[in-house]
Amino acid sequence: MPVRNAIVQASIGLHARPAALFVRAVHETGLPITISKDGRPGVDARSLLEVMTEDFPCGCEVELAVDPASLPDGYSAGDVGAALDGLCELLESARSR
């Protein structure tokens, strides 16, 4: 399963605007991405409600993952890796603040 880790840098965590920016970026990938923390089961990163409810505060380490069995046709491992890398950059950048 392709996995990447990132540290949430938005001062309010993944709430309100930062969460909306992140979820929009996930939708743009077209991939079924999950986000989790502390070894807990992942939530659907395409769902603003699930992301905000799970509570990802500033400074927490999150794991982004894609189940290969649920990949849409036409996606390569490189495509998935690049998408996850881009989402990690977003979480760790000023754009998510």
Three-class secondary structure of residue 68 per DSSP:
helix
Instruction: Fill in the DSSP letter of residue 22.
Output: H
15 belongs to the catalytic site: yes
* Catalytic site residue from 2, 9, 12, 15: 15
Q: Are strands 61-66 and 3-7 parallel, antiparallel or unpaired?
A: antiparallel
List, by residue number, the catalytic residues: 15
